[in-house]
Amino acid sequence: MEASRKFRLMTFRRLLKSSVIFSVTLLLGLAQLCLAQNTSGNQSWTASSQQEDPNGGINPTRTRETHTLADGRVVDQTLVETLGPDGQYVLYSDTERESVRVNNTTVRNIERSFARGPDGERTLIQERQEESRSLPGGEQKVVRTISNPDANGALQVVQRELEDSKQLSPGVRETTTTVLTPDVNGGFAPAVQIEQRETQSSDGTIDFKKSTLLSDGTGHWQLSEVREGTSKQENGPMRSKDERVLRPDANGNLAVVERTVSKQTGIGSGEKRDTIETYSTNVPGQAGNDSLQLVQRETTVQQNTAAGGHSTTRQIERANPGDPSDGLRVAEETINIVKPGGSGTADEKRTILSPDSDGRLGEVWVDVGKTGNPSVIQVDTRPPAKPQ
């Protein structure tokens, strides 16, 4: 009993610590963590899976998901359990996501994260809220908050994000996002500001630019990063994307530090390939070089099967830190296979492989389960458009 209590205490502290660590990436990606606002699906579903390391080096876990839609309210719950010291599974994390349409113009999403306390009690460790409001003329306002419990268990807002998106003209949209954090006076002060603009032309080409500015604490903004590029439609639904990342150099002038080139191609009936190549001035194992060099390639191949299932293979190649001139080598490969089951379900197996010291790929993580999620079961079997 004492060992189990210590295990729960360690797990609770680890989750609590991770919940109060924030980065700019987390701030900008908050919308993706909230529940999607689309409630058109009118069915409930469940999914369960078991994750383990074939070599026994990582503690196994198991996951259960439920999706429920009732009276216009969508509720998703994800339970993750890990093997305890007594050989029994104990709760590691519990996440609830709720989406509800408040009125014709407003949708509210709430995500709550729970953990088990030292004595096994269910304890709230974080709450995220997003309220999105649509206004006339295509304007949209979004308010996001992150709240953590204080020493007494009462929720306190630790971050607030305000987003204002406007349609300036046909094909041109501008979005301004301000992230506020607690100040020394007990209020909130702007800490990060993101300015985005997208311009779409008649041929489907999209030019985009996103500037991130950081507050210097005296009421002035300092430009931290600019992401800009172009997304083009090629061969029907296939697209290509070229993005550059610029940051101030030692003299304060913007310099390109990273470039990402993405491309989608059809490789046969019911198959497609996505390739993302990343070029950077930050080359592992190399210093003092300001030129862009290829440091990573991510390739994803999706293929439909005759039996109605599908498989996805994702391979990541990275530069060798020990010898950057040696080119890219496989650093990770993920294989996801979905096969139709009975009664509207599907069997899913995800395998992660990693190279050993000799470069041979071996299984390091296997996730096997069954799902009723329509987005997993329903596969687009249409062949890609033929090149023009």
* Domain boundaries along the sequence of the chain: 234-388
Handedness of CA 50, 51, 56, 58 (dihedral sign): negative
113-148 pLDDT tens trace: 998 887 878 899 999 999 999 999 999 999 999 999
pLDDT for 118 equals 79
In angstroms, the CA 286 to CA 294 distance is: 13
In angstroms, the CA 129 to CA 203 distance is: 37
CATH match of 234-388 with 2.40.128 = yes
In angstroms, the CA 387 to CA 143 distance is: 43
In angstroms, the CA 19 to CA 130 distance is: 18
Handedness of CA 364, 368, 374, 378 (dihedral sign): positive
Cross-strand pairs, 335: 313, 351
In angstroms, the CA 204 to CA 19 distance is: 40
pLDDT for 41 equals 46
In angstroms, the CA 351 to CA 50 distance is: 12
pLDDT for 307 equals 81
Is there a contact between 272 and 237 (Cβ–Cβ < 8 Å)?
Answer: no
In angstroms, the CA 4 to CA 277 distance is: 46
Q: Look up residue 137 and give its DSSP letter.
A: G
Confidence of residue 23 (pLDDT cuts 50, 70, 90): very low
Residue with tokens 């990275």: 318
Burial of 9 (0-12, 13-18, 19+ CB in 10 A): middle
Whether residue 3 has pLDDT greater than 70:
no
pLDDT for 5 equals 52
Q: What percent of the chain has pLDDT over 70?
A: 85
pLDDT for 288 equals 63
List, in order, residues 6 or more apart from 206 with CB less than 8 Å away: 198, 199, 200, 230, 231, 232
Whether residue 49 has pLDDT greater than 70:
yes
Whether residue 267 has pLDDT greater than 70:
no
156-183 pLDDT tens trace: 999 999 999 999 999 999 999 999 999 9
240-258 pLDDT tens trace: 999 999 999 999 999 999 9
Angle at 129 between CA 42 and CA 101, to 5 degrees: 35
Residue with tokens 């009125």: 103
Mean of pLDDT over the chain:
86
279-325 pLDDT tens trace: 999 988 777 677 899 999 999 999 998 788 999 999 999 988 878 77
In angstroms, the CA 380 to CA 237 distance is: 13
Element (H or E) spanning 281, and its range? none
More confident residue, 98 or 118: 98
Whether residue 385 has pLDDT greater than 80:
no
In angstroms, the CA 269 to CA 306 distance is: 11
pLDDT for 4 equals 53
